[in-house]
Amino acid sequence: MPDFTDTLRPAGPGGPAILAKERDSSDVPVEQLAQHLFPSNDFLGRQERIVPILENNKLFDKSKQQNLSRPERYRLGLARAKQLRRYADQYNWEDEDLNVAQYLCDDVSPYMVHYSMFITTVREQGNEEQRSYWLPKIEAMEAIGCYAQTELGHGSNVRGIECQARWDPAKGEFELHSPTLTASKWWNGTMGRTANHAIVVAQLLVPKSAESKDYVNHGPHPFIVQIRDTQTHKPLPRIAVGDIGPKYGYAPMDNGYMLFDHFRIPHSAMLSRYSWVDPNTCTYSKPANPAVVYGSLTAVRASIIMHARLIMARAVTVAVRYTCVRRQFQDRDSNDKRAPEMSVLDYPTVQIRILPLLATMFALHYTGAAMQSLYENTRAQIDQGDFSKLAVLHAQSSGLKSLCTELAANSVETCRRALGGHGFGGGSGLIQLNNDYLSKPTVEGDNWMITQQTASYLIKRMSAAVAAKTEPQDEVEAACKEWLHQGHDKRSSPLQIFDSDEQLVEAFHRRSRYLTYQAYIEREVKNRSWNSLLIQLRKVSHAESQSILVTNFHKALQNPSSNLPPPLKAHLRKLFQLFTLYTLDSEARDFLKASAVSDEDLDRLPDRIQQLMAEIRPHAVNIVDAWKIPDFLLDSALGRYDGRVYEDLFNRAHRLNPLNKVTFNPYYTSDEIEMGGGDGELRRIVAKL
Amino acid sequence: MSTIPQWVKNLKPAGPQGTELLQQERNKSSVDVEQLSNFLFTKDGLARKQRVLEILQNDKVFDKSQNYFAGRVDRFETALARAKKLRQLHIKHNFSQDDKMVANELISEPGPYGLHESMFLITLRDQGTPEQHEVFLRKAEQYKFIGCYAQTELGHGSNVRGLETTATWNSDDKTFTIHSPTLTSSKWWIGSLGRTANHAVVMAQLIVDGKPMGPHPFVVQIRDMESHQPLENIHVGDIGPKFGYNTMDNGYLLFNKVKVPHISMLARFSSVDPKTGKYARPASPSLVYGTLTWVRSTIVMQAGGVLARGVTIATRYCAVRRQFQDRDAPEWQKGENQVMNYTTVQVRLLPLLATTFALHFTGKAMMALYAASQSKMSQDAGKAGGPQRGAGPEETNAGSDLLADLHATSCGLKSLASYTAVEGLEICRRACGGHGYSSFSGIGPWYADYLPTATWEGDNYMLTQQVARYLLKTARSVLKGVDPNTNDTTLILSTFLARQDTGAAFDVLGNDSDIVAAFAWRASFLTFEALKHRDEQKKPWNSLLVDFYRLSRAHSQYMIVKNFYETLQSSSPAQEGMGTETLDIMHKLFRLYALHTLEQEASEFYTSSAVTVRQIQLARANAVMKLLEEIRPHAVRLADAWAFPDWQLDSSLGRYDGKVYEDMFYRASEQNPLNRVTIDPYPDSPTLFKANEAAALKSRL
């Protein structure tokens, strides 16, 4: 409906002009940087091909989805998931294309667990017969599956799960049973409404012999189970399954609950590539090496870090573009009363929140890439059963998962708040992102729990280095040995962090070794209880992870094969320094204690950081542009590439908002809610509650 | 829903039951919950809460069970029905203002009348003349005029002086023309405006004879009193869905040269003479800031309670939830460990528990200060104002004016308190592990509704500049020799100056009053450092913003530590019946808050020589860890003292009786409308929902 607002324009200077100026005044080569960031797998090409397909289908229009109720939002998610799968057939997409399409659609899809954990588990843990039976059905989506491990009462501690699978030698079947309410499967994605099959992880109980009444618990094992009728889609008898209700985010996903009442499944349901129950003798055979699962877990964690960097890139893109367009207050020191208001990004209080994150995106990128290639390179060894390289990689990956997902989750919220009031609005584009991503610090290993794995490994290596009986088992132990050899456990002189990048990197190594050594003393020498050390152990893990991030960032810039043009390399080096010095500043005390930096240098840090931010500031827009996040994915009025911030905000409020289609009766003396609806309306509303 | 099979209904959680675990927790502690609750809220306050709770629980419209499921339009509709019902109950039960506030706290959702009942009425009352009270306020109090407060614009938030909406005086027909010249001048974010209000207080740049006079308030009718449709040349609507606050119709508003009569300009402090067209300035510029200062004091006071909700939920759930066996536990001790026994959980939750009390006591003290300044202000009201409205109160009479002190204090504390509550709630949510992500945790939705407090009423980062400006000004006056006893700020700054050459040796680990002195020392040190940068080194203001932020934070932390300490030292705990055992725990909470903060901000304490590196190390390694251990057994009872009814918490994880898992399961399986839908999951089929009992149910009604 046309009205007088159609002709209104934002007060000048307009967003497009501001961003054009930002882009013109920076010499950061956007396309070169983009190629540097996404060199493999044709990621940018796929993105460019798929965006128009989705943009042209109204189903993927995101403008109204925030208004939907939970059931409606799930319905939309299901419709999109089906459509994407049909596109995959229609355009002959590779798996990677479907992944990119899902990334762009930005729903946590109801099919997600089917495509990931369900199929992976069958592939990795099924024996040949099971694979050839199930995989065609799964790929054709006749069997739609989920992965049911976590329970109402148990998450991270897999050994504590309560669901049971009891082998009945007489009938030649397993009996799945949930003995308590807390044994209910819980949180399992795709299970609530969508799946007709599930991988159920249950405690395997097997009689001592075919005649015995005594059962032995062999621990958690995976079973593939049909849970719903393939025609009616109703739960099978003796199964209670449903959706667990609304969450902070993940609205299109049907995370579910599931209980079994003495539910019988055949012998072939137990996925038996590694462990097996002999149906006749009741003999149980164990997996050859329990480390087999580490390999894929490490790959998963590398991809979590690569994903985290894209999450940060989205948040920082929105924050950088909007804080350039947004102006607030004149410069206090300016004498010109009519000077325009300042770009918010010119305030150091805004820079200190956003620019270190801009640098952190790159830090995550180089470490994620390094882990991926390390994993690829050691894969051959892993396949031959040599896990020596993997142990250190696995231990490091726990700590990195914890630190990186935490950094990414917090970055979204930091960026959102740096947007001021509009950050709270649906037009910021950071709300769903925040809501969806916030699950990450607690899933796939709670961030506070898994740092223990990293710390425990480091302490072991330090113990070995102190004992000095054998050749170092890995690089960590070698580094511990070198640190001890230098006498750093006693005293040493600080490094000159402003003199060279190498010294700066070395400072991170030294501080990590120092904290590891302190933890070793507390645990191994003073025999302090594990529980009383948990907080310290987390610091040990984070220090090591930060040291890895800094090292990989530095290595990537030194790498001659990257062919970085010198001007671009100079910019990246500033980002390296900002990330490194900012991190150092926030953990200053540990560095001081470790004799890694001098007190005087610490005093100089804030000024140096502010100076680096001032140098990076003019290039911020070009740098985020190079991350190539399309507007379709950003879904943000504030972060639009073209800077038409206010026009878009107004359009969303005025034209796309369903609440504005209703006229309400605001007077309390009347029970009518919608104008013309009559007094019976209150009853209608109460009836819905 | 009737399809829950009997065998499911028969299931119990694996033991030990949550109820038993919480009972054990409560048995272990000697904290007297009732005494502490009375001290926090008074007996009258608790009785009031109980009375209002019963009234609300008896009305089906306040049933919360579908809140977490519904879409935006439905949620708003229900919120409007609740707002109306609450107003009806208000009249029926003759509610007092306090009853009303308690009811809102219990309902815990922003309602469509929210801004009418707060800023609209307050502004009419405070800034209207007696004649305007007659014309506007009376009808507003009867809810015939339903209003909002339209200040913020699409392009301008914190910087009020940058507002673009204009109100031009027309001397020929004695009217003002209200106009929105650009898209960015659209009013934006205005609560109760989107769909509810028929009037608005509009802040607009007053223009008289072509000269801008700064922003002034105008009362403007925006919707028809009968049809509730927008009036001609007014464009108004809701701004759309948000992170939280979705039960509130935050709105936008544009004017296309709308004429309003002379009486529309609220004229208690400044006015345009209708005959001569002459503009009269406000008597005292600071009066305008009074309302804002009151709002900020309230935010500080509330921040403690807001955070306490998250802490209550997380504390109870972490006592019920068990995970992993203790690595060092003896073989015979089989069961899993309560999560609350992990030091990594304690170090997150217990300092927050201490913070809830710290903020509560600080807020209380500020409210008292506000009341004192109100009476002083009315005495000063006759004094003439300065020639320009440019300066805020923090620049007028620094070092003496009570309002200046309060205004500066309220800025910094509002910033720190709301920031602490926001951060703290998220920490609580994450401490609940996976289940914290469920809406049924009760923390996520609560967090989302509270979040905007960190940006509105002045962005937290922007506000800290005002504190810094005030502290610098006071420091200059102290250097010039102002009487140290003028106010608390002059006192701590003078003390610092007097002792800076002899040095400080604060026994922060042995003496509580030394802790307060160490916080004062660090804030004073940072003040004089900033002054040096600004006045001697002539650094640009903009380059010092980060320093100012830290300075403000340091000063506010000092205020909190001081108020917490003084509350416990005063005679009031004993007078109000708190026993020594409970008081003793409160002292431990004080030390935990103070030493944990000291440790977090270690480098500033160290650089200012308030403490030594060795002391910081001891604080971390010994003092804080020991306090965690000592407070741990009392955590559940300390949370209980906040006296949140389950109905208010609306949380499975935070239930008083510990029936965490039963409640999670009940809400998921029986209250969840998605489970009334059977879907078609196959990609080739266009059907999405095969059967939708929920819709069928709805259409029958």
CA–centroid distance for A128 within its chain: 33
Q: Cα-Cα-Cα-Cα dihedral of A351, A353, A356, A358, to 10°?
A: -80
CA–centroid distance for A138 within its chain: 26
The whole-angstrom distance between A573's CA and the closest CA on chain B is 23
Q: Does A82 touch chain B (CB under 8 A)?
A: yes
Give residues 328 to 347 of A whose Cβ lies within 8 Å of B: 328-329, 331-333, 341-342, 346-347
- To probe the interface with B, which of A152, A176, A254 has the most B CB atoms within 10 Å? A152
3-state secondary structure of B247: coil
Q: Does A260 touch chain B (CB under 8 A)?
A: no
Asked if the Cβ–Cβ distance from B7 to A261 is below 8 Å, we say yes
- Is B640 in contact with B28 (CB distance < 8 Å)? no
Taking contacts as CB-CB distances below 8 angstroms, the residues of chain B near A348 are: 542-543, 545-546
Q: Which residues of B line the annotated binding site?
A: 152, 191
Asked if the Cβ–Cβ distance from A9 to B13 is below 8 Å, we say no
Among A10, A431, A588, select the one facing B184 at the smallest CB separation.
Answer: A10
| Structure confidence at residue A292 (pLDDT) | 56
Taking contacts as CB-CB distances below 8 angstroms, the residues of chain B near A689 are: 60-61, 63, 65-66, 78
Indicate the burial class of B334 (C-beta count within 10 angstroms; 0-12, 13-18, 19 or more). exposed
pTM of the entire structure? 0.85
Q: Cα-Cα-Cα-Cα dihedral of B396, B399, B402, B407, to 10°?
A: 60
| Structure confidence at residue B385 (pLDDT) | 40
Asked if the Cβ–Cβ distance from B13 to A181 is below 8 Å, we say yes
Q: Within chain B, which residue ranges are assigned CATH 1.20.140.10?
A: 291-326+336-378+393-640
Q: Does A72 touch chain B (CB under 8 A)?
A: yes
Asked if the Cβ–Cβ distance from A157 to B242 is below 8 Å, we say no
Q: Does A33 touch chain B (CB under 8 A)?
A: no
Cα–Cα dist B443/B430, whole Å = 10
| Structure confidence at residue B330 (pLDDT) | 58
Q: Does A185 touch chain B (CB under 8 A)?
A: no
- Locate the chain A residue with the closest alpha carbon to B320: A153
Contacts of B330 (CB under 8 A, 6+ apart): none
Question: Active site residue: B109, B457, B604, B662, which one?
Answer: B457
Cis-peptide into A287, omega within 30 deg: no
Taking contacts as CB-CB distances below 8 angstroms, the residues of chain B near A673 are: 77, 80-81
Asked if the Cβ–Cβ distance from A653 to B433 is below 8 Å, we say no
Asked if the Cβ–Cβ distance from A81 to B683 is below 8 Å, we say yes
Cα–Cα dist A522/B63, whole Å = 53
- Locate the chain A residue with the closest alpha carbon to B140: A667
Amino acid at B183: L
Domain B30-109 CATH class label: mainly alpha
Asked if the Cβ–Cβ distance from A74 to B674 is below 8 Å, we say yes
Phi (first) and psi of residue A519, to 5 degrees: -65, -40
Task: Spell out the domain ranges in chain A.
Answer: 143-288, 294-623
Q: Which residues of A line the annotated binding site for FAD?
A: 150, 189
Amino acid at A53: I
Average pLDDT of the residues of chain B: 88
Taking contacts as CB-CB distances below 8 angstroms, the residues of chain A near B596 are: none
The whole-angstrom distance between A432's CA and the closest CA on chain B is 8
Cα–Cα dist B444/B435, whole Å = 11
Taking contacts as CB-CB distances below 8 angstroms, the residues of chain A near B341 are: 531
- Render A302-324 in DSSP notation, one character per residue: HHHHHHHHHHHHHHHHHHHHHHH
- Whether residue B383 is predicted with pLDDT greater than 70 in this model: the reply is no
Q: Within chain B, which residue ranges are assigned CATH 2.40.110.10?
A: 145-280
**The token pair that represents A44 in the structure block:** 């940018």
- Establish whether B34 is a catalytic residue: no
Angle between helices B512-531 and B488-499 (to 10 degrees): 80
- Which has the higher per-residue pLDDT, B621 or A162? A162
| Structure confidence at residue B391 (pLDDT) | 41
pLDDT confidence band for B365 (50 / 70 / 90): confident
Cα–Cα dist A541/A454, whole Å = 6
- Locate the chain B residue with the closest alpha carbon to A347: B542
- Is A245 in contact with A67 (CB distance < 8 Å)? no
| Structure confidence at residue B334 (pLDDT) | 57
- Locate the chain B residue with the closest alpha carbon to A196: B681
Taking contacts as CB-CB distances below 8 angstroms, the residues of chain A near B65 are: 689
Low-confidence ranges of chain A (pLDDT < 70): 1, 155-156, 287-297, 329-332, 334, 336-340, 382-383, 385, 387, 442-445
Q: Does A521 touch chain B (CB under 8 A)?
A: no
Could you tell me if residue B277 is left (phi over 0), alpha (psi between -120 and 50 degrees) or otherwise beta?
left
- Is A664 in contact with B228 (CB distance < 8 Å)? yes
Q: Does A287 touch chain B (CB under 8 A)?
A: no
3-state secondary structure of B254: strand
Q: How would you list the strands of the sheet with A239-243, edge to edge?
A: A185-188, A256-260, A239-243
Percent with pLDDT over 90 in chain A:
64
**The token pair that represents B463 in the structure block:** 């506000």
Cis-peptide into B16, omega within 30 deg: yes
Q: Which of B115, B92, B105 is nearest to B46 (CA)?
A: B105
Q: Does A595 touch chain B (CB under 8 A)?
A: no
| Structure confidence at residue B689 (pLDDT) | 83
Q: How many CB atoms lie within 10 A of CB A658?
A: 15
**The token pair that represents A502 in the structure block:** 């190498």
| Structure confidence at residue A294 (pLDDT) | 54
Taking contacts as CB-CB distances below 8 angstroms, the residues of chain B near A195 are: 681
**Overall average pLDDT of the B213-225 stretch:** 95
**Overall average pLDDT of the B468-484 stretch:** 92
CATH number of the B291-326+336-378+393-640 domain: 1.20.140.10
- Render A203-265 in DSSP notation, one character per residue: EEEEESSTT---EEEEEEEEEEEE-B-TTT-PBPTTEEEEE---BSS-TTS--EEEEESSEEE
Percent with pLDDT over 70 in chain B:
89
Taking contacts as CB-CB distances below 8 angstroms, the residues of chain A near B701 are: 684, 687-688
Residues A183, A188, A193: CA angle, nearest 5 degrees: 110
Cα–Cα dist B575/B500, whole Å = 39
The whole-angstrom distance between A184's CA and the closest CA on chain B is 9
Q: Does A610 touch chain B (CB under 8 A)?
A: yes
Q: What share of chain A is helix, strand, coil (3-state, %, to 5)?
A: 55, 10, 35
The DSSP 8-state label assigned to residue A217 in this structure reads E
Residue B338 pairs in a beta bridge with B322
Contacts of B369 (CB under 8 A, 6+ apart): B297, B402, B405, B406, B409
Asked if the Cβ–Cβ distance from B438 to A246 is below 8 Å, we say yes
Taking contacts as CB-CB distances below 8 angstroms, the residues of chain A near B682 are: 82, 141-142, 144
Contacts of A288 (CB under 8 A, 6+ apart): A274
Asked if the Cβ–Cβ distance from A668 to B88 is below 8 Å, we say yes
**Overall average pLDDT of the B63-79 stretch:** 90
Asked if the Cβ–Cβ distance from B668 to A243 is below 8 Å, we say yes
Taking contacts as CB-CB distances below 8 angstroms, the residues of chain B near A259 are: 8, 11
Phi (first) and psi of residue A434, to 5 degrees: -60, -50
**The token pair that represents A653 in the structure block:** 């409020």
Q: Which of A273, A257, A364 is nearest to A315 (CA)?
A: A364
Could you give the residue numbers annotated as active site of A? 444
Phi (first) and psi of residue A231, to 5 degrees: -95, -60
Question: Which residue matches tokens 């580490």?
Answer: A294
- Locate the chain A residue with the closest alpha carbon to B181: A8
Among A10, A75, A246, select the one facing B689 at the smallest CB separation.
Answer: A75
Q: Cα-Cα-Cα-Cα dihedral of A368, A372, A375, A377, to 10°?
A: -130
3-state secondary structure of A106: coil
Q: Which of B184, B196, B177 is nearest to B255 (CA)?
A: B177
Asked if the Cβ–Cβ distance from B662 to A181 is below 8 Å, we say yes
**The token pair that represents B575 in the structure block:** 């007078």
Cis-peptide into A606, omega within 30 deg: no
- Whether residue B288 is predicted with pLDDT greater than 60 in this model: the reply is no
3-state secondary structure of A279: coil
The whole-angstrom distance between B26's CA and the closest CA on chain A is 22
The whole-angstrom distance between B444's CA and the closest CA on chain A is 6
pLDDT confidence band for B458 (50 / 70 / 90): low
Angle between helices A599-616 and A566-586 (to 10 degrees): 140
The DSSP 8-state label assigned to residue A341 in this structure reads P
Asked if the Cβ–Cβ distance from B228 to A656 is below 8 Å, we say no
Asked if the Cβ–Cβ distance from B546 to A349 is below 8 Å, we say yes
Least trusted range by pLDDT, from A675-679, B296-300, B430-434, B457-461 = B457-461
Angle between helices A348-383 and A388-418 (to 10 degrees): 160
Among A67, A438, A670, select the one facing B73 at the smallest CB separation.
Answer: A67
- Whether residue B408 is predicted with pLDDT greater than 90 in this model: the reply is no
Cα–Cα dist B125/A273, whole Å = 78
pLDDT confidence band for B331 (50 / 70 / 90): low
CATH number of the A294-623 domain: 1.20.140.10
| Structure confidence at residue B176 (pLDDT) | 97
- Whether residue B400 is predicted with pLDDT greater than 50 in this model: the reply is no
Taking contacts as CB-CB distances below 8 angstroms, the residues of chain B near A143 are: none
Digit-coded pLDDT (tens) for B88-137: 999 999 999 899 999 999 999 999 999 999 889 989 998 899 999 999 99
Amino acid at B98: D
In CATH terms, is domain B145-280 a member of 2.40.110.10?
Answer: yes
In sign, the C-alpha dihedral spanning A468, A470, A471, A473 is: negative
Asked if the Cβ–Cβ distance from B159 to A682 is below 8 Å, we say no
Least trusted range by pLDDT, from A342-346, A356-360, B46-50, B352-356 = A342-346
Among B69, B323, B347, select the one facing A156 at the smallest CB separation.
Answer: B323
Question: Which residue matches tokens 């480390």?
Answer: A291
- Render B425-464 in DSSP notation, one character per residue: HHHHHHHTGGGGGBGGGSSHHHHHHHGGGGTSSS-HHHHH
CATH topology of domain A143-288: Butyryl-CoA Dehydrogenase, subunit A; domain 2 (2.40.110)
